[in-house]
Structure 1
Amino acid sequence: MTSPEARERAVLEAVGERRERVNRAIPEELPIVRPERLYEASRYLLDAGGKRLRPTVLLTTGEALADVSPLSTPYRRFPGLDGRTIDLMAAAVSVEVIQSFTLIHDDIMDDDDLRRGVPAVHREYDVETAILAGDTLYSKAFEIMLETGAPPDRAVEALEVLATTCTRICEGQSLDVSFEARGEVTTEEYLEMIEQKTAVLYAASASLPAILMGADDETIEALSGYGLDVGRAFQIQDDVLDLTVPSEKLGKQRGSDLVEEKQTLITVHARQHGVDIEGLVDTEDVDRVTEGEIDDAVAELESAGSIEYANGMARTLADRGKDRLEVLPDNEARGLLEDLADYLIERGY
């Protein structure tokens, strides 16, 4: 049996190989043209890095559906299930561009200084340019998705999924903002919010290859469910990492969710078990919060069982997501999707 460490190394290697291919494709799909400042700002976060997890899910799902060896078939001329070829890489870049658009606008709304270890777009440029850059990425994602070469009916369905995904992301962000003004949020409300804000883009990433390649409705639905489950698990793990990973690795202030009074599954559970969340840290200024204060807050949350509860929920969701992959052929790419689900809830950052 493969050890967890060996499995994680294999996942990171697989993600890295696909990331490099996506990185090479991004300038092709999103060149810097006039006006240069706008497109430089649009590319800024994309060029700053990122794990490219969503494109990895998309590309690997395509490999599993086609039942081909991973990385053996050119993504630009990928075989559909009816013998037609599609540009799977264009779809992968499209979802990563959507992800970047949401990050730019999130950072503006939260007035965050850092993203991926570099100044946020609105800090590096200005708020007006950052808003325009996000809007540009949003529209470019649809242009890029139109370049897959899929038959018209599949292309329209893919665009519909992308549009609905963007709408639900905005709805999820609106719910997240509204939660900040509320003293209590239920577990069900929190899970609904992260499904819309985070998980729907994973669902799109997993289901879009099936749509473009001509899979049946049952397969499309199952893969969308996989994305929803592992996407929610990913966000819950992100909430844990915000408290447990040093600031230099996070690329932002550790414990910022607590300081900004964001509702997470951890704080929802802790409130339900009598923890005074508002009293854990100074919520007036994130820059004044010390590592010692965060350590004390984490200790109290651990004592309440809240971090363990979040870890358990993430595991349950990841396992359910893996079960949905039974619609795929039993091949190496499907195994990677299963391992990726585990990685999303076991990663250190």
Structure 2
Amino acid sequence: MTTPEAREEAVLEAVRERRERVNGAIPEELPIKRPERLYEASRYLLDAGGKRLRPTVLLATAEALADVDPLGTDYRQFPTLEGDEIDVMNAAISVEVIQSFTLIHDDIMDDDDLRRGVPAVHKEYDLETAILAGDTLYSKAFEIMLESGADADRMVDALDVLATTCTKICEGQSLDVTFEERDGVTPEEYLEMVEQKTAVLYAASACLPAILMGANDETVEALYGYGLDIGRAFQIQDDVLDLTVPSEKLGKQRGSDLVENKQTLITVHAREQGLDIVDLVDTNDVDAVTEAEIDDALAELEAVGSIDYANDKARELVEQGKDRLEVLPDNEARELLCQLADYLIERGY
């Protein structure tokens, strides 16, 4: 029987194979040009790393639809369902560029010092340059998508998905900020917020190749639903990891979401069980909280069942998402999409 560690390593190897190809294509689509400082700042986080999970979802979905061997496939001349060719690598880079744009602006809003182990863009450069870099990435994502060479009608539909995704991300971020000032957030409201803030980009990643390749509406909708499900599960797992993974592995203070009164599915559930979330830690200063305080808070959250509740919801969403993949041919790429869904809730940091 395959061990969980072996399964995770197999998924990570598949992600690495696609990440290397995405990393090699990023400089082609987003070269450093005049004004150099703007484009260096725009590329800064992209060059700093990242797992490239969203591009991997997009490329694996394209592979599953076309029923091709990914290692022997030219993503730049990828077969559609009608026999012509498109550039699905451009679509993959487009969603990663959107992801980078959101990270730059998130770090500005939160005044975070680090991202991916390096200074945040507004710390490495300056606030004005970081804002411009984020805006540049936003617009470049649409330019890059336009170069995929798809049929005009399909391109309009793809750009509509991308534009709507960006709008929803901003709406979700706004809800997240508003929730910090509220005590009565419900699980349903939380799931709506993470759907918009986090899951919609996974949904776009999963359905865009289907749109560009000419799949039917049923397939597009099922793949969009898959992305929403695994994206929500991904964010719930992040909430759990924020409390359970040591600070040195997280790259930030463990329990920072709790200290900063961020609404998570864990705290929303705990409050419904009558737990006073505000009193779980004695400070709202992330730099002042101790590991012992976070341990005590975690024990109280576990006692009222909130950690189990979050884990169960994430697993439910992943299973629901995997069921939606029945619209795809039964092949290696579809299996990878199932494994990726499991990985998103089984991963450490």
- Asked if TM exceeds 0.5, the reply is yes
Note closer, same or farther for the CA distance 1:211–1:123 as it changes in structure 2 (3 Å cut): same
Counterparts of 1:45 and 1:82 in 2: how far apart (Å)?
A: 37
Counterparts of 1:187 and 1:139 in 2: how far apart (Å)?
A: 34
Specify the alignment match of 1:277 in structure 2. 277
Matched, 1:57 2:26: no
Residue pairs, 1:205-244, within 5 angstroms: 205-244=205-244
- Give 3-state SS (helix, strand or coil) of 1:112's partner: coil
Partner amino acid, structure 2, of 1:296: D
By how many angstroms is 1:284 displaced? 3.0
Specify the alignment match of 1:112 in structure 2. 112
Deviates more, 1:208-217 or 1:284-293: 284-293
- Give 3-state SS (helix, strand or coil) of 2:71's partner: coil
- Give 3-state SS (helix, strand or coil) of 1:159's partner: helix
Specify the alignment match of 1:153 in structure 2. 153
By how many angstroms is 1:239 displaced? 0.6
Counterparts of 2:247 and 2:104 in 1: how far apart (Å)?
A: 20
Report if the CA contact (8 A) 1:118-1:251 is conserved.
Answer: no
Counterparts of 1:106 and 1:145 in 2: how far apart (Å)?
A: 23
Q: Residues 31-56 of structure 1: CA distance to partner in whole angstroms, max 9, x if unpaired? A: 11111111111111111111100000
Specify the alignment match of 1:254 in structure 2. 254
Report if the CA contact (8 A) 1:186-1:268 is conserved.
Answer: yes
By how many angstroms is 1:2 displaced? 3.1
Deviates more, 1:232-241 or 1:249-258: 249-258
Residue pairs, 1:54-203, within 5 angstroms: 54-203=54-203
Note closer, same or farther for the CA distance 1:283–1:169 as it changes in structure 2 (3 Å cut): farther
Q: Residues 5-49 of structure 1: CA distance to partner in whole angstroms, max 9, x if unpaired? A: 221111010001111111111111111111111111111111111
Counterparts of 1:81 and 1:52 in 2: how far apart (Å)?
A: 25
Q: Residues 100-120 of structure 1: CA distance to partner in whole angstroms, max 9, x if unpaired? A: 100111111111111111111
Counterparts of 1:344 and 1:29 in 2: how far apart (Å)?
A: 28
Partner amino acid, structure 2, of 1:77: Q
- Give 3-state SS (helix, strand or coil) of 1:287's partner: coil
Partner amino acid, structure 1, of 2:126: D
Q: Residues 243-282 of structure 1: CA distance to partner in whole angstroms, max 9, x if unpaired? A: 1112232222221111111000000011111211111124
Partner amino acid, structure 2, of 1:126: D
Q: Residues 261-317 of structure 1: CA distance to partner in whole angstroms, max 9, x if unpaired? A: 100000001111121111112443211112221111111111111111100000000
Counterparts of 1:201 and 1:220 in 2: how far apart (Å)?
A: 14
Q: Which TM-score applies when normalising by structure 2?
A: 0.98
Report if the CA contact (8 A) 1:154-1:214 is conserved.
Answer: yes
Give structure 1 stretches of 5+ with no counterpart: none
Specify the alignment match of 2:48 in structure 1. 48
Counterparts of 2:252 and 2:263 in 1: how far apart (Å)?
A: 18
Partner amino acid, structure 2, of 1:177: V
Partner amino acid, structure 2, of 1:92: A
Q: Which TM-score applies when normalising by structure 1?
A: 0.98
Note closer, same or farther for the CA distance 1:282–1:115 as it changes in structure 2 (3 Å cut): farther
Give structure 2 stretches of 5+ with no counterpart: none
Counterparts of 2:305 and 2:72 in 1: how far apart (Å)?
A: 45
Partner amino acid, structure 2, of 1:298: L
Counterparts of 1:33 and 1:70 in 2: how far apart (Å)?
A: 32
Specify the alignment match of 2:348 in structure 1. 348
Partner amino acid, structure 2, of 1:105: H
Specify the alignment match of 1:15 in structure 2. 15
Deviates more, 1:88-97 or 1:239-248: 239-248
Deviates more, 1:137-146 or 1:117-126: 117-126
Report if the CA contact (8 A) 1:70-1:332 is conserved.
Answer: no
Counterparts of 1:131 and 1:84 in 2: how far apart (Å)?
A: 39
Report if the CA contact (8 A) 1:117-1:252 is conserved.
Answer: no
Report if the CA contact (8 A) 1:115-1:252 is conserved.
Answer: no
- Percent identity over the alignment is 83
- Give 3-state SS (helix, strand or coil) of 1:288's partner: coil
- Give 3-state SS (helix, strand or coil) of 1:285's partner: coil
Partner amino acid, structure 2, of 1:254: R
| Coordinate RMSD, CA, aligned | 1.0
